[in-house]
Amino acid sequence: MVRGIMGVAVLVTAYPPNRLRAQDSQFGVQGLGTPGRFESVRARSTAGAFTPFDPLSPLTEAPLADLSILTATAMSGTSYRESDLGGSTASLRSTRFPLLSAAGRVAPRLALAAGFTTYLDKSWDVTQRDSTLLRGVLQRYTDELTSNGSVADVRFAAASRLTRRIAIGGGIHLLTGSTRQTAERRFDDTTFHTVQQLAEVRYSGFGISGSVLIGVAPGLSLAGWARSDSRLRAKAGDSTTALTDLPHGAGGGLLFAPSPSVRIGGSVAWRSWSRSGPGAFNTWSWSGGAEFGSGRMPLRLGVRGGQMPFGPGTTAPTEFAAAAGTGRSFAQGRASIDLGVERLERRGTGLTERVWTVLVGLTVRP
Amino acid sequence: MRVRRLALIGAAVLAAACVEDLSAPGVCPNYCPTAGLTIADTVLYDLSRDSSFRGYVLPHRSALLLAANVPGVVDGRAIFRINGPGTRFRINPNDTTTGLIEGADSARLRMVISRYDTALTNLALAFYRLPKTIDSTTTFADVSGAFTDSLLRTLNIDSLLAKPNRKDSVTGDSAAVDTIGHTIALFVKFDSTAARYVGADSGSVAYGIRVSANSPVSIAITSGLAAGPQFLSRYIRVDSSGVPVSRNMGLGLPAFASFVRNPPSPPIDSTLAVGGAPSARSIIRVAFPRVIRDSSQIIRATLSLVPAVAAAGVPIDSFAVEVHAVLVDLGAKSPIAIDLTHTDSTMIHIGATDTVQVEVTNVLQAWAADSTQPTTFVLRARDEAQSFAEVRFYPTAAPAFRPSLRITYVRRYPFGGR
């Protein structure tokens, strides 16, 4: 059975890299992209409420201190997105593999983790009809601008439990990735040749983070985290084409477990995305969720809300989501599969996106 | 059981991974990239060092023999020679015994008219005997005497085509019309006089063809060793021990074929000549701006040429002018790039004086793709020396009518911008 699980794990994680394109949103087309979630399937099934306390979510490091054995996890998400833009609707689909992480204890008071997650999704494809006056004649054309790729957050983290009640952690984040961008214009009048330009744009950046986990009372925990990212450097060929300030962020969470089979949590987060330039906003986000049952198949529920960092107009687009999920352990707890589903709605100037996302996570403890 | 369940889950995950549809209609400017493609349009007058040269394809190297009768413009006549067997011929094909050739009885000439105006009426050919000395240096004046006093016979093509099965039982002529290729194959009967055998000439014969119709006419006859005018059969009388016997010499292929014209091709002057026979080419050099060459994508380029002298002739003489890139600029001897990615073309219509616009996008894109290429145009007729018509454009030295190059290009998209 373990071999079967490992087989599925290999298939999920070793899928061809050209498919590892990020989830996208039209709100990110004019901005840096769509920020990633930094959540495992389990945390995302609670709408992010458990994220600050989840050792397999790359948001905080302190919970890693409670991992007793080496643990690896990966997830995939398939989204079915419907956008409504000024009465014009479009149905879009995409599949992403936004998380791969391995962590374990290397000393009695020290745990280490390494992995990557999606920092910014930069995949989109926009087509547009327009016309322009050329040589005295109005020429109609179709533009197609595309970007395929993402910026990944490669994290190296360490955590230690200082006392029975306090654990701390820190991490460094290497931001790296690339997008293949194309710009194409096809004229209705074929006397004008089709314009096709493409470029490979590489991204790099750096960030640090720290977090703390405090056991306030039996069954009640508090978590706090902070993160600072430097600048995102975009290079096309040998030229730096953009140097964009990345946000600072901070957040915290509360987890209450009145009984072994009930856990209730909530979290908030703030990020200073407005540093990245015009059309960007600082964002607040919140979430609340619960997990019921600790046996074979727990039930997870949650809701989240908040703002999107990029969008037109003077106010930030908003999002609201509800999520649910469950999980199942196999092989005497050495492996588990988590399943989740999320319904998300984003609203901004003239645009509403509704997304169903099916999440599958696989965790292995060899 | 559990293994099967896991396999099903794995398959479901992979199936879900096989979807991708990211394309969304853009509603700009709110939900489109802030940067767009920028198009610029410019007209270059920086064309210079132009010149013309004649003699690239000579009439006797042409794939067509031209005959025309356009009063005031050109009088063109096809000429060709078929070499003879010598003074003796085999009496019996199965042995080597030969006999003296005493004379000729008849011959059947085959020729193909590959270009003609179907609207012509009373289209006729006149065959003349020419001296067997005709060669590539022969001019119209050299053979004008023969074309005056050595008429052998005439053939009215319209009349022949109107006969049943396109056969004239009286003259022995016949024709075959290819309605797809728009050609007429003529089979012309020559009697003993027209197909005469002269021992001093080793049996060689030379003919000239003059064309006429009720209106100005220009035709082209297929040339070449195998396709040119030729004897399908030629019957001669051979002495066999004092008894004349008739023998068929069989196929007689043309040893030389060309055409002459009056007046001769006008000399090259300061204008840019293209076409004619012998064919003329013109060369124009372009100062191609680096900003366009290195950092832009050319989507359309148009070369404008103002005719100084319109192409003259009949409408069927309209011809295509090609603009080529050159592999290396060696002036008149510049080797031209003949593949489609380095060539553009346009039609030159007889009598038209409008500005000629040639789309040269392919050539300029080739220049932009390879910065080592010389930025030189060569203008030539697509089918050189296959039409008497010739066009002459104003050169770069004529300020009001000089050639110009209009380029529409797209600047580099600012990839990687926020």
Q: Tell me the whole-structure pTM to 2 decimals.
A: 0.77
* pLDDT band of A29, cuts 50, 70, 90: confident
The pLDDT value recorded for residue A11 is 40
- Cβ-based contacts of A84 with chain B (< 8 Å): none
Between A138 and A312, whose confidence is greater? A138
pLDDT average, residue stretch B247-257: 92
Give the span between the Cα atoms of B8 and A7, in whole angstroms: 12
**Among candidates B406, B396, B342, B403, which has minimal Cα distance to B374?**
B342
Q: Which residues of A touch B14 (CB under 8 A)?
A: 11, 15
ipTM score of the complex? 0.77
| Residue of higher predicted confidence among B1 and A219 | A219
pLDDT, tens only, B301-343: 999 999 999 888 888 889 999 999 999 999 999 999 888 888 8
- Are A197 and B297 an interchain contact pair (Cβ–Cβ within 8 Å)? yes
**Do B295 and B412 contact (CB within 8 A), yes or no?**
yes
The torsion region of residue B170 among left (phi > 0), alpha (psi -120 to 50) and beta comes to: alpha
Q: Which residues of A touch B26 (CB under 8 A)?
A: 126-128, 143, 145
Q: Closest CB to A15: pick one of B17, B299, B417.
A: B17
Cβ–Cβ under 8 Å, residues A205 and A175? yes
- Res. B406: pLDDT tops 50: yes
pLDDT at residue B315, as a whole number: 84
Task: Assign B395 a pLDDT band (cuts: 50, 70, 90).
Answer: very high
- Average pLDDT estimate for A255-268: 95
Return the pLDDT at B5: 53
The stretch B30-38 carries a mean pLDDT of: 84
Shortest Cα distance, chain B CAs vs residue A39, angstroms: 19
Question: Mean pLDDT across the stretch B397-408?
Answer: 94
Statement: residue B113 has pLDDT above 80 = yes
pLDDT in tens, B162-195: 999 999 999 999 999 999 989 999 999 999 999 9
pLDDT for the residue B26: 55
Greater model confidence, A79 or A296: A79
Nearest by CB to residue B416, choosing from A201, A277, A351, is A201
Question: What are B406's strand-pairing partners?
Answer: B43, B302
For residue B156, the SS3 value is strand
Rounded Cα distance, A287 and A301, in Å: 11
**Closest CA–CA distance from residue A221 to any residue of chain B (Å):** 35
The CA angle A204-A205-A207, to the nearest 5 degrees, is: 155
- What is the tens place of the pLDDT at every residue in A92-116? 888 889 999 999 999 989 999 999 9
Alpha-carbon gap, residue A105 to B238, rounded angstroms: 115
B19 touches chain A (CB under 8 A): yes
Lowest pLDDT segment from A45-49, A59-63, B88-92: B88-92
Q: What is the mean pLDDT of residues B26-39?
A: 80
Q: Which chain B residues in 28-67 lie under 8 Å from chain A, judged by CB atoms? A: 28-34, 36-37, 39, 41
- Facing B16 at nearest CB: one of A78, A181, A183: A78
Distance from CA of A49 to the nearest CA of B (A): 25
Nearest CA in chain B to A141: B37
A13 in reach of chain B (CB within 8 A)? no
Judge if the upstream peptide bond of residue B278 is cis by omega within 30 degrees of 0: yes
Number of other residues whose CB lies within 10 A of the CB of residue A144: 16
Best CA proximity match to A325, nearest among A294, A348, A291: A291
SS3 B191: coil
pLDDT at A1: 39
Per DSSP, the three-state class of A277 is coil
The predicted-structure confidence for A110-149, as pLDDT tens digits, reads as follows: 999 999 999 999 988 888 899 999 999 999 999 999 999 9
Instruction: Please choose, from the candidates B40, B44, B47, the residue with its C-alpha nearest in 3D space to the C-alpha of residue B406.
Output: B44
Q: Does A292 touch chain B (CB under 8 A)?
A: no
Quickly state the pLDDT bin for A42 (edges 50, 70, 90): very high
Number of cross-chain residue pairs from A and B with Cβ atoms under 8 Å apart: 181
If contacts are CB pairs under 8 Å, which of residues 155-214 in chain A contact chain B?
Answer: 181, 183, 185, 187, 191-199, 201
Touching check for A24 and chain B: CB below 8 Å? yes
Count of beta carbons in the 10 Å neighbourhood of residue B84: 23
One DSSP character per residue, B115-154 reads: E--TT-SS-EEEEEEE-TT--TT--HHHHHTHHHH-EEEE
User: What is the per-residue pLDDT for B332?
Assistant: 93
B340–chain A Cβ distance below 8 A for any pair:
no
